[in-house]
Amino acid sequence: MKDENLKIYRQPKFVQPRLVMGFSGWMDGGDISTGTIRYLRDALGAEAFAHIEPESFYIYNFPGSMEISALFRPHTRVRDGLIEAYEPATNTFYCSEKNGLVLFSGKEPNLAWRQYADRIFSLANRFDVRRIYFIGSVAGLTPHTREPRFSCSMSDDKLKAQLKQPAIKFSNYEGPAGIITYLTHRASDEDVEMLSLVAEIPAYVQGYNPRCIESATRLIASLLGLKIPLDDLRRAGDDFERRLSEIVQQQPELAEKVSELEADYDNQVFDTEMGDLKEWLEQKGIRLD
């Protein structure tokens, strides 16, 4: 397998490490995917040791409005005529040797999924990674006052026995696939186990969501047997929930919808189609990504 796009600049010493992945893009609502990896990286003092070169995997000049183009083009910052930053897509591997852990934070590729996956599985093979976890999110019917529920898909049915957490249910889905689906589908052929854990987060909440990041980080830490401090993230989440509740109460229509969501959640009603809520959100101009 050729590794011309995979650059490894350190050789960590592991004994069968686990790999946890997060991607910006489709399943990163609330920054759950990238935010969880970032928190784990900082909490564990994980250091970068490899990356995937981006040039072969992204469309930069996608035509369309500024809003659409911003999803594809590199980000830049210009101050007083001087270019201070130019930020192309990054795909970086971090290591925490003492915890037997590799963390990966990347951007979902637009092109050449097979070759992109080759680089991930090549690194996994080189360092004897035998299990990969993905953490992500989708917009759904979870009220902001409740814990997000997680759906799980996996590369091998035997992994179900290891997932006893009540917050996890097994996914039932048919529709467009992402890079994670491709990686999970291919994992068995690469002699690797893979689990995808996707949080259902409040559809009416936009932007960074520390409450759900804390839940995702706690779940991953539990599955990996990691002991990491979560107090600061919990405080940020509690403050976020309090401020959001104050805003919701100022909008009677939304407050009524949230009350309905809370009742359905508490009665374990699962309606992933979102029904009336989806229509109401679209009428209010609230995006569901």
Domain ranges of the chain: 6-54+89-283
| Confidence bin at 270 (pLDDT 50/70/90) | low
Assess contact for 46 and 96: CB atoms under 8 A: yes
Number of Cβ within 10 Å of residue 5's Cβ equals: 19
On average, the pLDDT of the chain sits at: 88
Q: 197-242: per-residue pLDDT in tens?
A: 999 998 888 889 999 999 999 999 999 999 999 999 999 989 988 8
Contact 152, 41 (CB under 8 A): no
Instruction: Tell me what pLDDT residue 288 has.
Output: 45
Q: Which burial class, exposed, middle or buried, applies to 23 when counting CB atoms under 10 A from its CB (0-12, 13-18, 19+)?
A: buried
**What is the CATH architecture assignment of 6-54+89-283?**
3-Layer(aba) Sandwich (3.40)
Higher pLDDT, 53 or 63: 53
DSSP of 42-67 = HHHT-EEEEEE--TTS------S-HH
pLDDT of the residue at 280: 64
Tens digits of residue pLDDT in 249-264: 888 888 888 888 888 8
Of all residues in the chain, the percent with pLDDT exceeding 90 is 55
Residues facing residue 151 across a β-bridge: 169, 198
Confidence of residue 282 (pLDDT cuts 50, 70, 90): low
Name the token pair of 72. 């594809």
Per-residue pLDDT at 22: 97
